[in-house]
Amino acid sequence: MNYFSYQNGTMHCEETALEQIASEIGTPFYVYSAKSFTDSYNNFANAFQSRKNIICFAVKSCSNIGVLGLLGSLGAGADIVSGGELYRALRAGIDPEKIVYAGVGKTRQEIKEALEAGILMFNAESAQELDVLNEVAGSTGKRARVAIRVNPNVDPKTHPYISTGLKKNKFGISADTVKEQFRYAATLEWLDVEGVHCHIGSQLTEVSPFGEAAKIMASLIKDLRADGIDIKYLDMGGGLGITYNGETPPNHSEYAAAVLEAVRDLDVTLIFEPGRNISGNAGALVTRVLYTKDTEAKHFKVVDAAMNDLARPSLYDAYHSILPVRETDAKIKCDVVGPICETGDFLARDREAADVPVDGLYAVMSAGAYGMSMSSNYNSRPRAAEVLVSGGNYFIIRRRETYADLTGPESVPAFLRTGKN
């Protein structure tokens, strides 16, 4: 099913025209398809239905509570990395017993909040963290279920900024020394050591690194059980890629086959933390052309969305397909740039794109993951609105920020106050 398609020459998300949304709420805005989220989640879940499993959506990829609420209603749990993400997941009604908590820098306060919420598991990333978890669990009087994040040293063959399972990365504990840490954790009074965790990177487009990592994890689980450590959960993290520009990532059943093959003789509950695979192609960023500009070197389309709205092109040189909302055959080689005062503020460079005139709309595709969730207020730009489409209806799940939102948490110090501010 195509969640974004042209109907009568104009792009729709499901049955809702993007032009209609733009004329009613203005631009830029993120638009998500509820059906896309639902289908991706269900396909992922179905691929593992032969085994006990929990699918914990990676909140960092798309954090809006409207989206989390939708996924929660389908049975998803949450993979969180901060107290803020815990708050969002709980607000969205996600079952705390399906929440796993990763991250190399959990604070004592965050750990306490997660213990009080009764989350399923902490994915511990260092020996020191094990001690802190034990200490906070003891002082809170609530036992902490723990997995240790293993760094399996598998090359995910993806962008270096989003590779996480190599020895040189800051994440997890090296597979060579991790058994020691498991044995140590098992001696700590307030910890229940029940899981192994890994996450080797993001936007993987090959299946073999997943299979390789799963084999390393499976053999670790066998060794730990032989040592008397009763591992119940294998958390394989996220990382399954999507198509941005012709990539052919494994489909859900290929991915499942690689993981299931490695664990076929193990009785263990599988946990997955997909983010991008569920949210990436569910969303687009819709933006209006403000100006067109020719220089000696280039043709520019200046649009009203910028790097503060979608950081991926400037941050990772990431490719997002940019399509005209109103179908046209006219093409032009151009840079699509935003209003921010930085040369790095572009959504596409040297792109053969549709030649959309001033006041026309572009849809920046595959922007559902790490789009809005990485946005900022740089250049004091109010953040974009977010809408969730279901069939022929749309729902504003985050209103556009106002200028007052920008300065809301700020204040002019008393010694400067003049009565005017």
Task: Report if residue 252 touches ligand LLP, rule: CB under 6 A.
Answer: no
Beta bridge partners of 335: 300
Min separation Cβ 388 and ligand LLP, Å: 19
- The DSSP H or E segment spanning 235 is strand 233-235
Among residues 28, 156, 165, 274, which is the contact residue for ligand LLP, using CB under 6 A? 274
Nearest to ligand LLP of 96, 360 (CB atom): 96
Query: Which of the ranges 84-92, 113-121, 273-281, 377-385 carries the binding residues for ligand LLP, by CB under 6 A?
Result: 273-281
Q: Is 69 annotated as a binding residue?
A: no
Geometric angle at alpha carbon 141, from 138 and 142, rounded to 5°: 95
Query: Which of the ranges 186-194, 216-224, 238-246, 333-341 carries the binding residues for ligand LLP, by CB under 6 A?
Result: 238-246
Task: Report if residue 249 touches ligand LLP, rule: CB under 6 A.
Answer: no
Nearest to 161 by CA among 271, 311, 283, 305: 311
Task: Report if residue 312 touches ligand LLP, rule: CB under 6 A.
Answer: yes
Nearest to ligand LLP of 144, 240 (CB atom): 240
Q: Which two tokens stand for residue 56?
A: 């914990």
Lay out the site mask for ligand LLP across 149-188 (x = CB under 6 A, - = otherwise): -------------x-x------------------------
Q: In this structure, how many other beta carbons lie within 10 angstroms of the beta carbon of residue 238?
A: 25
Nearest to ligand LLP of 87, 316 (CB atom): 316
Q: Is 275 annotated as a binding residue?
A: yes
Residue given tokens 């607000």 in the structure block: 91
Say whether 62 is catalytic. no
Among residues 148, 370, 375, 389, which is the contact residue for ligand LLP, using CB under 6 A? 370
- The DSSP H or E segment spanning 101 is strand 99-101
The CA-based dihedral angle spanning residues 389, 395, 398, 403, taken in that order and rounded to the nearest 10 degrees: 120
Among residues 14, 79, 309, 335, which is the contact residue for ligand LLP, using CB under 6 A? 79
Nearest to 294 by CA among 332, 328, 329: 332
Min separation Cβ 58 and ligand LLP, Å: 3
Alpha carbon distances (Å) from 402 to 65, 128, 387, 399 = 20, 42, 17, 9
Q: Catalogue the E-assigned strands of 273-412.
A: 283-294, 299-303, 322-324, 331-337, 346-354, 361-364, 385-390, 393-398
DSSP 170: S
Among residues 209, 237, 313, 324, which is the contact residue for ligand LLP, using CB under 6 A? 237
Task: Report if residue 346 touches ligand LLP, rule: CB under 6 A.
Answer: no
Q: Is 75 annotated as a binding residue?
A: no
Query: Which of the ranges 2-10, 186-194, 198-206, 407-415 carries the binding residues for ligand LLP, by CB under 6 A?
Result: 198-206
SS3 353: strand
Are the C-beta atoms of 374 and 311 separated by less than 8 Å? yes
The binding site comprises 239, 273-276, 312, 316, 342, 370
Task: Indicate the annotated binding residues for pyridoxal 5'-phosphate.
Answer: 239, 273-276, 370
Active site residues: 341
Binding stretches for ligand LLP (CB under 6 A): 58, 61, 79, 102, 162, 164, 199, 202-203, 237-240, 273-277, 312, 316, 369-370
